[in-house]
Amino acid sequence: MKDLIEGALKFMQEDFKEHAELFESLKNKQNPHTLFIGCADSRVIPNLITNTGPGELFVIRNIGNIVPPYRVGDDFLATTSAIEYAFNSLHIKNIIVCGHSNCGGCAALYANENDLKNMPNVRKWLTLLEPIKNKVLKVAKDDLAMRSWMTEKMNLVNSLQNLLTYPGIEEALNKKEIELHAWYYIIETGEIYEYDFSFENFVLIQERIKKV
């Protein structure tokens, strides 16, 4: 905790002053251009990997960077409500769903029931990926490496599909008023792959830029 307090003091005394003009411009409102939906994993830092500053990204983070299908419910729908807000109130122009290598959330999908006995809400959350698990096991079986990267990538494609169930998003996409992207981040190399809708596979992001 001491390190965190010292970091906060450094921000107030040094870093904030360096960007004081920017923070002054943000004091009354935000106008982010992109909704970034990422994993809660501490190794994935949205502003770092996108080289963006305060006010540019509206960020949602959860276990496994999962986008659930749209629904209106009586319980507390944190991810769903945040997507609603970003699209309808902030009018973001891009949505990026970012997954990553060695995802603990995706790995937990295959854990024994006893491993999650003290985490009932995590267990319930991961049931959203049960259809993916069933498909992966038919192919990967006991190959743990294949199982991991297949689950992580299929989860991203599934989240893109689920985004289209949110009112207005598919219409905005067809009108080219919004862009949807799925990124797969390799932690140990820093490489980012993006899903190519045309070829239905992931390619290095610099290759995607060449095609634009």
Residues 9 and 68 in one domain: no
Per the annotation, binding residues are 39, 41, 100, 103
Q: In angstroms, what is the C-alpha Rg of the chain?
A: 19
Residues 35 and 11 in one domain: no
Residues 25 and 37 in one domain: no
What's the Cα-to-Cα distance from 196 to each of 37, 93, 160, rounded to whole Å? 18, 19, 12
Residues 71 and 148 in one domain: yes
Residues 131 and 195 in one domain: yes
What pLDDT is attached to residue 159?
A: 97
What's the Cα-to-Cα distance from 132 to each of 6, 33, 118, 145, 149, rounded to whole Å? 43, 31, 24, 16, 12
Per the annotation, binding residues for Zn(2+) are 39, 41, 100, 103
Residues 26 and 91 in one domain: no
The answer, yes or no, to whether residue 208 has pLDDT greater than 90, is no
> At 206, is the secondary structure helix, strand, or coil?
helix
pLDDT tens digits for 80-132? 999 999 999 999 999 999 999 999 999 999 988 788 889 999 999 999 999 99
DSSP 55: T
Reported as a pLDDT band with limits 50, 70 and 90, residue 210 is low
Residues 14 and 102 in one domain: no
Instruction: Supply the range of the domain harboring residue 6.
Output: 1-30
Residues 39 and 18 in one domain: no
Residues 60 and 25 in one domain: no
Residues 58 and 134 in one domain: yes
Residues 81 and 46 in one domain: yes
Q: Is 27 exposed, middle or buried, given 0-12, 13-18 or 19+ CB atoms closer than 10 A?
A: exposed
Task: Return the CATH number at 113.
Answer: 3.40.1050.10
* Number of domains forming the structure of the chain: 2
Residues 127 and 205 in one domain: yes
Q: Is 20 exposed, middle or buried, given 0-12, 13-18 or 19+ CB atoms closer than 10 A?
A: exposed
- Give pairs for 193-201: CB < 8 Å, separation 24+: 195/153, 195/156, 195/157, 195/160
First to last CA, the chain: 45
